[in-house]
Amino acid sequence: MKILEVKDYQQMSNKAAEYIIEKVIRFPSIKLGLATGGTPIGTYKKLIEDHQKNGTSYRRVTTFNLDEYIGLSEENKNSYRYYMNENLFNHIDIEKSRTFIPRGDVDDIQKESLYYEDLIAKHSGIDLQVLGIGSNGHIGFNEPGTLFESSTHIVNLAPSTIQANARFFNRVKEVPTKAITMGIATIMKSKEILLLISGEEKRETLFRLLNGDVNIGFPASVLKNHPFVTIIADEAAVKDI
C-alpha cells in the first residue's frame, strides 16, 4: 500500500480528483467503483468543477457503486442512488444507464446480489475502486467478521455504523439496519484501489490499518493483500502514526 500524505480534507479531495481525472483522460472507457459517505463528497465536487472548467468527459465511463441501503427507493434522499445523482451524476456528462448501484428496494435482494456481482463480471471488472473506510474498518458495508471470500451480499449493519450514519437522517431510528454491498472479494478483484481517509476520528482506524495484521475482524486489512492500493490521508488522520 502506498500512502500519500496531504494537509487537509480539501487537499485530499483535490489529490483524489486529480488521480481520477488523469485515469479518465487516459482511459475514457474506464470502469470506476464509487463510494458514498462524507469522505468522497469533496472529491466529487472537484470532479464536477473540473468537468465544467476543463470539459473532462465521462460519456464513456461506467460506474459501479459499492452499496445501498435495503428498503430505500431511489427517490429517497438517503438512498445512495440519490446521493450519487445529487453529488456527481447530475452534474457531469455521464450516461445514467452506465451508472450502476445495487437496488435496495427490490423484492428479491438475494437475486439482486447475484445479478450485481454478475453485472460487474460481465463488464470485466472494475479498473479503479474508490473507497472510504468506517471507523471499525468496514469497506463498502462489509462489517467486521465478513469473510474475505464474500461476493455481493446482504448485511446487518453494525450498531456503530448505524450510529455513525445517523447524521444523514432525521433520527437514528430511520437508518436502515440492512444493506446490500459488494463483497470483500468483489472489491479485491478491482485492478486498482484508491482509499481516502480524513480527520482525527479516523486516526485510530488508519493506525490499525497500517500497523495491524490481516484479519477479518478489521475488514480493510485485506487491502494489504492487494497489489495496487493508494491511500490518500490527511494530516489529522496520519498524525503520530
Residues carrying an active site annotation? 67, 136, 138, 143
Tell me the sheet residues that pair with 5: 233
**Grid coordinates 469533496 are at which residue?**
42
Is residue 134 within the footprint of ligand GLP (CB under 6 A)? yes
Q: In this complex, which beta carbon is closest to ligand GLP, that of residue 38 or of residue 212?
A: 38
Is residue 67 within the footprint of ligand GLP (CB under 6 A)? yes
Is residue 132 within the footprint of ligand GLP (CB under 6 A)? yes
Nearest alpha-carbon partner for 69 in 211, 174, 184, 148: 174
Q: From edge to edge, which strands make up the β-sheet containing 67-69?
A: 67-69, 178-181, 153-156
- Three cell numbers written together for 232: 490518500
Is residue 197 within the footprint of ligand GLP (CB under 6 A)? no
Region binding ligand GLP by CB under 6 A among candidate stretches 22-30, 33-41, 104-112, 218-226: 33-41
Size of interface with ligand GLP, in residues (CB under 6 A): 14
**Minimum Å distance from CB 168 to ligand GLP?**
8
**Minimum Å distance from CB 54 to ligand GLP?**
26
Subset of residues 135 to 154 that bind ligand GLP, contact rule: CB under 6 A: 140-141
Q: What's the count of helices (H) and strands (E) in the chain, helices before strands?
A: 8, 10
Helix (H) or strand (E) holding 48: helix 41-54
**Grid coordinates 427517490 are at which residue?**
75
Among 33, 37, 137, 183, indicate the residue that binds ligand GLP (CB under 6 A). Answer: 37
Among 62, 146, 150, 165, indicate the residue that binds ligand GLP (CB under 6 A). Answer: 165
Q: In this complex, which beta carbon is closest to ligand GLP, that of residue 30 or of residue 66?
A: 66
**DSSP three-state, residue 122:** helix
Q: In this complex, which beta carbon is closest to ligand GLP, that of residue 56 or of residue 134?
A: 134
Among 66, 94, 101, 120, indicate the residue that binds ligand GLP (CB under 6 A). Answer: 66
Is residue 38 within the footprint of ligand GLP (CB under 6 A)? yes
For residues 81 and 66, give the distance between their C-alpha atoms in angstroms, rounded to a whole number.
11
Is residue 33 within the footprint of ligand GLP (CB under 6 A)? no
Is residue 39 within the footprint of ligand GLP (CB under 6 A)? yes
Cα-Cα-Cα-Cα dihedral of 88, 86, 140, 155, to 10°? -150
- Per DSSP, helices labelled H in 172-215 are 184-188, 203-211
Q: In this complex, which beta carbon is closest to ligand GLP, that of residue 56 or of residue 129?
A: 129
Q: Where are the beta strands (DSSP E) in 99-191?
A: 99-100, 128-131, 153-156, 178-181
Nearest alpha-carbon partner for 211 in 224, 228, 193: 224
Q: Which residues bind ligand GLP (CB under 6 A)?
A: 35-39, 66-67, 132-134, 140-141, 161, 165
